[in-house]
């Protein structure tokens, strides 16, 4: 068994790449960002300020998250309700960024993330996988791109889902989240010391996947065959 950690800022294509890589390698993909988005969604539903650490912590005992693979697709259930689509809005992305800064939230999700990797090889993407969740991962990749390129990808994704969004606002949100994630006191966004940095500005999804697979091949050799 082995662990592949793919970290990076919002809009770098981590989830798309990690999902495709897991499928090609025949191993499990875990989208940790979805877990934080699910907490963020519950905080929003309860009308709590996501910056209020104490208030957010008080909600955690009421949150039951279940990750299920159904017909090859990862689904997230919040207290029994499938929220896989509703956590993918730009607003919930910002909620996720804010709640993820609280130590209590990170502790709440830490064991759940580690438990998944105890019995199977995984590809896990997020912002602190290689630095905090799995510092012993056999492969660590930090995937990034220019803020403008990431904003365009996110903008296109949201438009395709039928959301009415403005590119400049998406770019502003990307920069705000970059700042929030990289300056928080707990598990800030940064490459692990032994991570391979991959800037995929201008890459197509297929090119990003191919580049990541090549890094994995160099790191694992025959183990990923």
For the chain, give the mean pLDDT: 92
Q: Specify the pTM.
A: 0.77
Q: Are the C-beta atoms of 125 and 28 separated by less than 8 Å?
A: no
Phi, psi at residue 179, to the nearest 5°?
-65, -45
Integer Cα distance of 116 and 67 in angstroms: 10
pLDDT band at 129 (very low <50, low <70, confident <90, very high): very high
Chain segment 29-49, per-residue pLDDT in tens: 888 888 999 999 999 999 999
């Amino acid at each position: 068994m082995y662990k592949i950690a793919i970290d990076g800022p919002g809009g770098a294509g981590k989830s798309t790449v990690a999902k495709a890589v897991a499928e090609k390698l025949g191993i499990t993909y875990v989208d940790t960002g979805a877990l934080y988005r699910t907490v963020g969604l519950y905080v929003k539903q309860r009308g709590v300020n996501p910056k209020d650490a104490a208030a957010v912590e008080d909600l955690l005992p009421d949150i039951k998250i279940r990750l299920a693979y159904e017909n090859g697709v990862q689904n997230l259930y919040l207290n029994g309700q499938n929220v896989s689509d509703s956590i993918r809005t730009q607003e919930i992305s910002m909620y996720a960024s804010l709640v993820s800064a609280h130590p209590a939230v990170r502790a709440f999700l830490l064991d759940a993330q580690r438990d998944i990797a105890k019995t199977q090889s995984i590809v896990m993407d997020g912002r602190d996988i290689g630095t905090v969740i799995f510092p012993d991962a056999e492969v660590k990749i930090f995937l990034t791109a220019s803020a403008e390129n990431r904003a365009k990808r996110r903008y296109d994704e949201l438009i395709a889902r039928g959301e009415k969004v403005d590119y400049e606002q998406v770019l502003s949100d990307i920069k705000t989240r970059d700042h929030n994630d990289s300056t928080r006191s707990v598990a800030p966004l940064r490459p692990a010391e032994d991570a391979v940095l991959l800037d995929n500005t201008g890459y197509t999804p297929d090119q990003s996947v191919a580049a990541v697979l090549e890094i994995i091949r160099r790191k694992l050799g025959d183990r990923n065959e």
